Amino acid sequence: MMKLSAEERAAALKDLPAWRYDQERQAIVRQFQFADFQEAFAFMTRIALAAEKADHHPEWSNVWNKVDVALTTHSAGGLTVKDLDLAAIMDKAASA
Amino acid sequence: MMKLSAEERAAALKDLPAWRYDQERQAIVRQFQFADFQEAFAFMTRIALAAEKADHHPEWSNVWNKVDVALTTHSAGGLTVKDLDLAAIMDKAASA
């Protein structure tokens, strides 16, 4: 799994407008907000299954109705296609 | 729900030796570590159900096999019995 170049990253983020690149963490980050804890955790459960299936896991935190996510690929030392894929899955799950 | 006094807090933490009090957050904090992501998320799922039932929710983050938790009662401006109860439930679930 190859780390994306800065050009590849910029192009990919155009399709993920809700995400921003965090240079320090070498990760893409986004906050999701839901109606309440139930909705937030239902989202996390869907994503947990998808993450396990892809063998690629988010770094995330949850405070009641909010879920803060950072996606990076430690083994590649930065952002890879795996992160973009999981970000797209999350966007879809959150808007469903 | 009354905020615990410093004396009550100190006494309660004797029964929760894996937790420490974070003065700045006015919360008790603990890290749980599991074999892998599946085990970590299974724990989170059990706790999510317990939290929803108690209508008292953790602040928590997860990175693969680790779950970092902070418990406080915002409406009381600090630690209450609700936090101690949830901490005990977490300890039990993690050792089960």
Taking only the tens place, the pLDDT of each residue in A17-45 is: 999 999 999 999 999 999 999 999 999 99
Nearest to B60 among A38, A57, A62 (CB): A62
Q: Which alpha helices (DSSP H) does chain B contain, by range?
A: 6-13, 37-54, 81-95
ipTM comes to 0.95
Select the residue from B29, B39, B41, B56 to test the A interface by mutation, using most A Cβ atoms within 10 A. B41
Quick: pLDDT tens for A50-86. Answer: 999 999 999 999 999 999 999 999 999 999 999 999 9
Domain ranges of chain B: 6-95
pLDDT of residue A65: 98
Determine which helix (DSSP H) or strand (DSSP E) holds A37, and give its type and residue range.
helix A37-54
Q: Tell me the mean pLDDT in the region B10-37.
A: 97
From B68's Cα to the closest Cα of chain A, the distance in A is 9
Q: Are strands A59-63 and A27-33 parallel, antiparallel or unpaired?
A: unpaired
A75 near A1, Cβ under 8 Å?
A: yes
User: Rg of chain A's alpha carbons, rounded to an integer?
Assistant: 13
Coil, strand or helix at A89: helix
pLDDT of residue B96: 74
* CATH number of this structure's domain A6-95, picked from the four choices 3.30.70.100, 3.30.1360.20, 3.40.50.300, 3.30.360.10: 3.30.1360.20
